[in-house]
Amino acid sequence: MPMLTPSSVHLDQPLTNLTLAFVQDNANFIADKVFPTVGVERQSDKYYIYDRDNMNRSGDVKALAPRTEVNRIGMSVSNSSYYADVFGLGMDFDQQTLANEDAALDIRSAGAQTLATRLLIHREEAFADTFFGAGVWGTDNTPTNLWSDYTNSTPIIDVTNARRTMQLKSGGFKPNTMVVGKEVRDMLVNHPAILSRLIGGSTVANSALVTDSKLAEIFEVENFLVMEAVKNTSVEGVAESNAFIGGKNALLVHGPKNGGLMTPAAGLTFAWNNVPGANNMGISVESFSDDALTRQQVAEHIQVKMAYDMKVTGADLGYFFSAVVA
């Protein structure tokens, strides 16, 4: 006797309320959080830098007797320049694919998200290449005892000494931001020197929750940022090979929330606003079609662009720790 079965009364179809897309959390990316982003109208230009030495020089001030004049001093200014390269990536969709798209899919939006994520990864790599390496800042250091050595290392003392060194080299500016690689943070949150500072005298065996805000307090900075973004270094068609972009390094810098007149900053990002469709961060998303694309069987082209230049603007306002964990 014929019997109905589940497979005979139902044909599997894609769910209309679920798709999977492995998009990294925007919180993983810190390239736009460390230094101010300055929106600029021109792709290239110059900016002025006041002479720091003269600002802090002692002497020349004297007590004034009647009818005597004050000593006169001078000041000097130099300039530097930026050039905002335009970075971009695109994706094509043919008419047949778009016409047969299932309801659960929004491949245009997914394509734009994919492109934007790839550009954010590129920007994070540019941040690491520009700011997160040896030979960039006023001082480089690798602790004698790496912070992964829980018996002998002293990360709090190391950072305290670095703060003092940077304050002297920079003419009085303290670091207000600490940036670390993901692997560095993972070591710090279980370090006995960190845990002992928390209320209750926590130990590795009986630890308290160590948050980034607590780490900021312990290291005496306003911002404690972790480079958690991951990049896949393999080529298409090869098994993915993922790595944290931040590596095993740490950086102390002085950076204001916003760039402006008479404002000191260890670094700046100049974002060109005049890329077509760009927002105030220099990011644009475009979708278009034309006869040339149609002849190539392309119904729609989506591209995402960013235009920026990352610049070290005050090398002595930074202190870099290289390879601080094993």
Strand, helix or coil for residue 75: coil
Nearest Cα to Cα of residue 197 among 187, 210, 206, 185: 210
pLDDT at 116 over 50: yes
What pTM was estimated for this model as a whole?
Answer: 0.86
Strand partners of residue 322: none
**CATH for 24-53+77-321?**
3.90.1690.10
Q: What is the mean pLDDT of the chain?
A: 87
Q: Where are the alpha helices (DSSP H) in 5-153?
A: 6-9, 52-56, 95-99, 107-131
* pLDDT bracket for residue 181 (50, 70, 90): very high
So where are the chain's domains?
A: 24-53+77-321
Q: Which helix (H) or strand (E) holds 178?
A: strand 177-181
Q: Are 168 and 180 in contact (CB under 8 A)?
A: no
Which amino acid, residue 212? D
Q: Give the residue-averaged pLDDT of 30-54.
A: 90
Q: Are 255 and 179 in contact (CB under 8 A)?
A: no
Q: Are 43 and 274 in contact (CB under 8 A)?
A: yes
pLDDT of residue 19: 45
Residue predicted with more confidence, 234 or 96: 234
In the structure encoding, which two tokens stand for residue 324, read together?
């601080």
Determine if residue 167 is left, alpha or beta; phi over 0 gives left, psi from -120 to 50 gives alpha, anything else beta.
alpha
**pLDDT tens digits, residue range 185-239?**
999 999 999 988 886 655 555 556 889 999 999 999 999 999 999 999 998 889 9
Chain Cα centroid distance, residue 49: 24
Neighbours of 57 (CB within 10 A): 11
Q: Which residues contact 98 (CB under 8 A, 6 or more apart)?
A: 107, 299, 300
Nearest Cα to Cα of residue 251 among 320, 186, 299, 193: 320
126 φ/ψ angles, rounded to the nearest 5 degrees: -65, -40
Q: Which residues contact 247 (CB under 8 A, 6 or more apart)?
A: 128, 132, 181, 183, 323
Strand, helix or coil for residue 236: coil
Q: Which residue has the tokens 């006041």?
A: 50
Q: Which residue has the tokens 């692997």?
A: 183
Neighbours of 22 (CB within 10 A): 5
